[in-house]
Structure 1
Amino acid sequence: MSLIRVFFIFTFILIAGTTFAQSSSELKRRKESLTREIEMLRKSQNKVVNNKRLSLRQINALNAQIRLRQEKISTINSEVRLLDNQISENSNNVRSLQSQLNRLKKEYAAMILFAFRNQSSYSKLMFIFASTDFNQAYKRLKYLQQFGDYRRKQANYIQQTQKDLGYKIVQLDHNKREKSTLLQDQEKEKITLGKEKSNQSVQLSKLSKQEKELRQELSQKQKESARLNRAIQNAISREIEAERRKAAALAAAAAKAAAAKGDDVVAKPVATGTKVLSATPESAKMTSDFTGNRGSLPWPVANGTIVERFGRHNIGNVSTENNGVNIQTNEGAGVRAIFAGTVTSVLNMGSSSAIIIRHGEYFTVYTNLRSVNVSKGQKVSVKQGIGTVASDPSDGSSDVHLEIWKGSTPMNPEAWLAN
Structure 2
Amino acid sequence: MKLYKLLITLLFTFLAIAVFAQSSNELKRKKEAYEREIEQLQKVLKKTASGKKLTVQQYNAINTQIRLRQSKIGVINSEIKNLDNQISANTNTVHTLQGQLGDLKKEYAGMVRFAQRNRNAYDKMMFIFAAKDFNQAYKRIKYLQQFSQYRKKQAGYIESTKKDLNGKILVLDRTLKEKSNLLKDQEREKDKLGKDKSVQANLIGKFNKQEKQLKQDIATRKKQQAQIDRAITAAINREIAARRRAEEEARAAAAKAAAIAAAKARAENKPVAATPAEAKPAKTSNSDVLTNTPADAKLSSGFENNRGRLPWPVATGSITERFGVHKVDQASINNEGVNITTAEGSSVRAVFDGEVFMVQTIYGKYFVVIKHGDYFTVYQNLRSVSVSKGERVNTKQTIGVVANTGDVAELHFEIIRGQSKQNPEAWISK
Which string of whole-angstrom CA distances, capped at 9 and with x for unpartnered residues, describes residues 49-104 of structure 1? 12221111111111111111211222211111111221122111211221122222
Alignment correspondent of 2:174: 174
Which string of whole-angstrom CA distances, capped at 9 and with x for unpartnered residues, describes residues 217-240 of structure 1? 111111121122223322332333
Matches of 2:238 and 2:139 in 1, distance apart? 92
Equivalent pairs, count: 417
1:406 corresponds to 2:413: no
Alignment correspondent of 1:67: 67
Contact 1:403–1:413 (8 Å) recurs in 2:
yes
**Residue identity opposite 2:425 in structure 1:** E
* 1:302 maps to which of 306, 315, 338: 315
1:349 corresponds to 2:362: yes
More deviation in 42-51 or 284-293?
284-293
Matches of 2:129 and 2:305 in 1, distance apart? 78
User: Aligned-pair distance for 1:278?
Assistant: 6.2
Alignment correspondent of 1:320: 333
Alignment correspondent of 2:30: 30
Contact 2:2–2:100 (8 Å) recurs in 1:
no
Alpha carbons of structure 1 residues 360 and 6: separation in structure 2 relative to 1, 3 Å: farther
**Residue identity opposite 1:43 in structure 2:** K
Which string of whole-angstrom CA distances, capped at 9 and with x for unpartnered residues, describes residues 310-348 of structure 1? 111112111111011111111110011112222111121
Alpha carbons of structure 1 residues 402 and 153: separation in structure 2 relative to 1, 3 Å: farther
- TM-score, scaled relative to structure 2: 0.87
Contact 1:244–1:272 (8 Å) recurs in 2:
no
Alignment correspondent of 1:415: 426
Alpha carbons of structure 1 residues 69 and 138: separation in structure 2 relative to 1, 3 Å: same
Contact 2:292–2:374 (8 Å) recurs in 1:
no
1:376 corresponds to 2:389: yes
Alpha carbons of structure 1 residues 400 and 118: separation in structure 2 relative to 1, 3 Å: same
* 1:385 maps to which of 395, 398, 423: 398
Alignment correspondent of 1:220: 220
Alpha carbons of structure 1 residues 134 and 375: separation in structure 2 relative to 1, 3 Å: farther
Alpha carbons of structure 1 residues 11 and 283: separation in structure 2 relative to 1, 3 Å: farther
CA RMSD of aligned residues (A): 2.8
Tell me, what secondary structure is at the counterpart of 1:347? Answer: strand
The gaps in structure 1 that reach 5 residues or longer are none
More deviation in 320-329 or 294-303?
294-303
Alpha carbons of structure 1 residues 316 and 147: separation in structure 2 relative to 1, 3 Å: same
Alignment correspondent of 2:350: 337
Tell me, what secondary structure is at the counterpart of 2:404? Answer: coil
Q: How does 1:124-203 map to 2 (within 5 A)?
A: 146-203=146-203
Matches of 1:374 and 1:323 in 2, distance apart? 24
Alpha carbons of structure 1 residues 243 and 90: separation in structure 2 relative to 1, 3 Å: farther
User: Aligned-pair distance for 1:129?
Assistant: 6.8
Contact 1:274–1:408 (8 Å) recurs in 2:
no
Matches of 1:238 and 1:131 in 2, distance apart? 108
Alignment correspondent of 2:56: 56
Contact 2:377–2:413 (8 Å) recurs in 1:
yes
Alpha carbons of structure 1 residues 134 and 211: separation in structure 2 relative to 1, 3 Å: same
User: Aligned-pair distance for 1:174?
Assistant: 1.2
**Residue identity opposite 1:234 in structure 2:** A
**Residue identity opposite 1:18 in structure 2:** A
Matches of 1:214 and 1:3 in 2, distance apart? 74
Alpha carbons of structure 1 residues 330 and 144: separation in structure 2 relative to 1, 3 Å: same
Tell me, what secondary structure is at the counterpart of 2:312? Answer: coil
User: Aligned-pair distance for 1:215?
Assistant: 1.1
Alignment correspondent of 2:96: 96
Which string of whole-angstrom CA distances, capped at 9 and with x for unpartnered residues, describes residues 180-215 of structure 1? 111111112112211221121111111012111111
**Residue identity opposite 2:413 in structure 1:** L
Matches of 1:161 and 1:288 in 2, distance apart? 58
**Residue identity opposite 1:331 in structure 2:** E
Matches of 1:165 and 1:268 in 2, distance apart? 81
Matches of 2:240 and 2:137 in 1, distance apart? 94
Alignment correspondent of 2:265: none
Matches of 1:271 and 1:157 in 2, distance apart? 82
Alpha carbons of structure 1 residues 410 and 49: separation in structure 2 relative to 1, 3 Å: same
Contact 2:338–2:414 (8 Å) recurs in 1:
yes
Which string of whole-angstrom CA distances, capped at 9 and with x for unpartnered residues, describes residues 129-168 of structure 1? 7777777666666555554444444333322222221111
Tell me, what secondary structure is at the counterpart of 1:41? Answer: helix
Q: Percent identity?
A: 52
More deviation in 3-12 or 275-284?
275-284
Larger radius of gyration: 2
The gaps in structure 2 that reach 5 residues or longer are 262-271
Alignment correspondent of 2:14: 14
**Residue identity opposite 1:33 in structure 2:** A
Tell me, what secondary structure is at the counterpart of 2:421? Answer: strand
